[in-house]
Chain A
Amino acid sequence: MERLTYLGVLLFIFAGSAWLEIGLRTRVFRRWKRLLLALSIPFLIFVIWDIWAIASGHWSIDPDRTVGVVLFGTIPIEELIFFLVVPIASILSLEAVRSVKGWPLGDEHPDSRGDEPGHTDARTARS
């Protein structure tokens, strides 16, 4: 059971955030192409950093508390899952806040290059 420690924490993070897809209608998994595009670059950058840091001795991961699947000779599979589960949880949180509060985040007008001049027009003008 001890070997499931890290994987169990990852499962907790995933379960603790994935319910937002239904409960707050975040529609993040439903927009899976956009999600994969958003995840790919952070995943590559942080996994490369992680492999380099483990190889350089910056940190280590206890082999007794991971399932034992190690990739590239250095990185436990839990680390790869971490760099998917945590960004997914953060995007779910972002859309959950928007679902509840309705605050704009800059993508309300696709292809407008972000600086929407009137994003506070109709909603806030109406008393």
Chain B
Amino acid sequence: MTYTQIAIAMVVGVVAVDLLVLRTRLVTRRGFWVAYAIVLFFQLLTNGMLTWLRVFRYSDAVIVGNQPADDGPPPFFGEGRIAFQPFEDLLMGFSLCLLAMALWIYWGRRGVQPLPRSGPPIWRRSTGASATGATTTPSTHPGGSSDSQASP
């Protein structure tokens, strides 16, 4: 099997694990896609640098693009590459991160250290009850200081 085939199979497999095995369904959640967008930006930056410097070299036979001769970096875009790296790397990164995030949510849902929850950011005033509050989530308006105890 080529890297292209394995990478596509990994994406399909991990999405199936998220939806059907763990039933975490992260791919249906807005928060996952925003987090992945951040991860993707840094993958393009860091993995792009490593492939531009040719720390990673790929066999022509297993990727859509090809590995240029030793005297130059791969193309920035095109010939199967995005920010120097083979697009297959983006599929691998997606499956690696989705699997780890889905397992993180899975174990939390199973009761492994669901608390203390994340947030609020340090620049928002904490009401002091954030870590132990059963259903409170950080207030979305920054000035709110005492309304997190609001009852329905």
Contact = CB atoms under 8 A, between A and B. Distances in A.
Contact of B31 (A57, A59, A104): A104
B31 A103 contact: yes
Nearest to A126: B150
B109 A112 contact: yes
Interface residues of A, number: 69
Between A23, A28, A91, A115, the greatest number of chain B beta carbons within 10 A of the residue's beta carbon is seen for: A91
Given A12-B46, A93-B38, A22 B122 contact: yes
Interface string B118-141: 111110000000010001011110
A114 interface: yes
Contacts of A33: 112-113
A110 to B, nearest CB: 4
A122 B133 CA distance: 14
Nearest to A95: B118
Interface of B: 2-3, 6, 23-26, 29-32, 34-36, 38-39, 42, 46, 49-50, 53-59, 62, 92-93, 96-97, 99-101, 103-114, 116-122, 131, 135, 137-140, 150, 152
A33 B117 CA distance: 14
A58 B3 contact: yes
B119 to A, nearest CB: 3
Interface string A16-51: 100000111111101101110111011001100100
Given A9-B49, A89-B39, A102-B140, A59 B56 contact: yes
Contacts of B6: 49
A71 to B, nearest CB: 17
B104 A35 contact: yes
Nearest to B3: A58
A9 B51 CA distance: 12
Nearest to A108: B135
